[in-house]
Structure 1
């Protein structure tokens, strides 16, 4: 297949280029500059400069594509990010989806894959939910729901089928947020956040290694199945256990349990929201539809891979020394 990837220089996008190319597909990655060109070319793709918000520009870049993937985001790396930074991410989701679906239709693509987040359907009670559950968007996830609706509406009149891959909480060795969590755990600045006035209510999150997120998109494209799916690993885990496991692998102090209302005052509501939104869901439907099988079936194997990688390339020593600042190093998590 010929695959066009928007967001090809991000944590997910880089892996999409590599994995599609490794399986023999032609991959074109949307770029903005020479650095992006190199990132795509080094992973076996063909870089093409274009504008995510310009459908004509995207159509030129996606010419001949069978599959169009919207993997672009602009999620702030600063936990205390200002409103305008989140608005930029909203624009990438909404306007990017409009331009990409228009371009996909004009080039005659047969598949359109849209990245979303699994917690758009999470409920305030923390009950189990699945792909049939109604969305319950918040300020931060409304644009993800909007992008889903834009994609599905476009597929009703376009030559392509649209699929939505709602991914779990990403982590990876080269992800800024993962390095930020590690740095804070090492300095005992990231507590095990929980809900309730006394912090006694456990929160269940749905992690997903970025390698497995990418392989899920490849599986969806190759299977030609269509649907709205939850792409998470095989075992939901409490925020407390996830952070305690990460801390143990890092040989960091065990994180102190604290209620969310206390932590929100120091690290920002956006960061706390991700760790206090329960996501008890499964990947069952996606597995059945595509045959996908994660390389890292649980957070245990995935976090071990992260720390092993850091030990091998010197990152862990740098984190312990305080010489890696994930919030400012654009090479780590380019968007």
Structure 2
């Protein structure tokens, strides 16, 4: 297929582009910078210059494609309103462009915040509705386009998509540990984070493009839940630091804006996804990656 990918040079997106090219698809990636454009061209992908605010460019990219994979997000934690507005505008534009075509539209979402007290499953609908919701409520917005003839599929990623070079949440937690000289976890450390290796996540996306029916919710989850204590202990081993519990009320002051998120239980399953796609994760676990030096250390 001719696939238009936003976020094509990002942490997940660059791995998805590699997987798509390896399986014979033609990829056009949205690129904001000369560096991103050059990286995509070096892989053999085509480039459309622009960003999430360039809705005309996004529309043209979607029009020329046989499928769209939307992975870009501004991730501006200091201005969530602007981030949500840009995300919703992009998804609305892509959906309107693909309406009536039966073309695939896969978009990034997450397993965080779906349920309380148990692991989230693919059957759990997103509670985020409307432009003021997290991510601008775009999972539900995209799935509404199924009734308008779009093969919309939600790609729900684990809170940590890990691997060497990851600059996401676990890298931030590791940086805080190094700065403060102690690897900490909130409370008793029994809250859990779902996890998946970057290459497994990319393979799931490619399989979803080929196999997932309209309205599917796919979970990029290899490990149902890794406890925050185990994460902190692995970081402690990596940096030869003491490991300690901190009062959850102090998590935000210790970890910064990530403190509240690190205190949440974000477990999820992927049984439906594995059976639907024939997807079996094979990459290293999160703790194996930390122990192997993916996040630095001794």
TM-score (normalised: structure 1): 0.78
Paired residue secondary structure (1:165):
strand
Distance 1:267 1:192 in 2: 9
Q: Which residue of 2 aligns with 1:96?
A: 90
The yes-or-no answer on 1:274 pairing with 2:261 is yes
- Give 1:301-316 correspondences, 5 Å limit: 301-304=288-291, 307=293, 316=296
Output the CA distance in 2 between the equivalents of 1:239 and 1:273. 13
C-alpha displacement of 1:72? 0.6
The one of 205, 210, 220 aligned to 1:222: 210
Instruction: Please give the alpha-carbon distance, in whole angstroms, between the structure 1 residues aligned to 2:231 and 2:106.
Output: 29
Which of 174, 189, 192 is the matching residue for 2:184?
Answer: 192
Residues 228 and 58 of structure 1: CA distance in aligned 2, closer, same or farther (over 3 Å): same
- Listed as ranges, the matches of 1:17-28 within 5 Å are 17-28=17-28
Considering fraction of residues, name the structure with more strand: 2
Note the residue ranges of structure 1 that are not aligned, 5 or more in a row.
Answer: 311-315, 321-335
CA shift for structure 1 position 36: 1.9
C-alpha distance in 2, partners of 1:87/1:143? Answer: 9
Corresponding position of 1:66: 66
Structure 2 gap ranges (5+): none
Q: C-alpha displacement at 1:137, in angstroms?
A: 5.0
Structure 1 residues 58, 135: closer, same or farther in 2, change over 3 A?
closer
CA distance in 2, matches of 1:101, 1:213: 23
Shift of 1:203: 0.6
Is residue 98 of structure 2 the alignment partner of residue 110 of structure 1? no
Q: CA RMSD in A?
A: 2.8
Cα distance in structure 1, aligned partners of 2:269 and 2:74: 26
CA contact under 8 A between 1:12 and 1:210: conserved in structure 2? yes
State whether structure 2 residue 172 is matched by structure 1 residue 183: no
Find out whether 1:239 has 2:228 as its counterpart.
Answer: yes
Q: 1:27 to 1:190 in 2, by over 3 A?
A: farther
- Which of the residues 156, 169, 175 maps onto 1:166? 156
Shift of 1:49: 1.3
Give, in whole Å, the separation in 2 of the partners of 1:39 and 1:239: 35
Name the CA distance, whole Å, in 2 between partners of 1:97 and 1:40.
23
CA deviations over 1:232-280 (Å, ceiling 9, x no partner): 11341111112212332x2431331112211212433x40122111123
Please state how far the C-alpha of 1:5 moved relative to its aligned partner: 0.3
Distance 1:122 1:190 in 2: 31
**8 Å Cα contact 2:224-2:267 kept in structure 1:** no
Aligned to 2:273: 286
Number of residues of Structure 1 aligned to a counterpart in Structure 2: 295
Q: Cα–Cα, structure 1 residues 219 and 200, in superposed 2: closer, same or farther, change >3 Å?
A: same
TM-score by structure 2 length?
Answer: 0.87
Deviation per residue, 1:74-113 (Å, 9 max, x gap): 224xxxx53x2x223212321221122223338x461010
Q: CA deviation at 1:145?
A: 6.6
Structure-2 separation of matches of 1:220 and 1:277: 28
Report which stretch shifted further, 11-20 or 254-263: 254-263
Superposition deviation, residue 189 in structure 1: 4.9
The CA deviation string for residues 195-252 of structure 1, in whole angstroms up to 9 with x for no partner, is xxxx23621111222222222111101224341122211341111112212332x243
